[in-house]
Amino acid sequence: MSRGAQLKFEEAKGDWYRVSGTVTGWIHKTNLTERQVTLSSKPGGEGAGNASRDEVELAGRGFTPQVEGEYRNKNPNLDFSHVDKIEKTSIDPGELEAFVAEGKLAGGAE
């Protein structure tokens, strides 16, 4: 599923939620939000208080620019070039769906 997808809650087992939407499966509660998230293609969002898509994705993982900066400062000898390269990687959603279908991959424990 894509970030921002609307899901229907089915059941909970501890911190894991069984949800349905475009797919049905289990997802950890830290990957969900109960509010509407407005994304914008403009840096900084369209208006005051709005976040860019990158900011929403990073915050969704708990990895804000501030957290990254602190981690880099505490670990000056680490090479972050691979992380930077991965962050720039983009996968076409249609190609990803075809890959999942061809490989008969499942979206979670059922």
What's residue 46's pLDDT? 52
Q: Which residue type sits at 2?
A: S
Extended strands (E) in 1-110: 8-13, 16-20, 24-28
What's residue 48's pLDDT? 47
- Predicted TM-score (pTM) of the model is 0.34
What CA–CA distance (Å, rounded) separates 38 from 110? 31
Q: Tens digit of pLDDT for each residue in 26-78?
A: 988 888 877 665 655 555 545 545 566 666 666 666 667 777 788 888 888 88
Q: Where are the domains of the chain?
A: 1-35
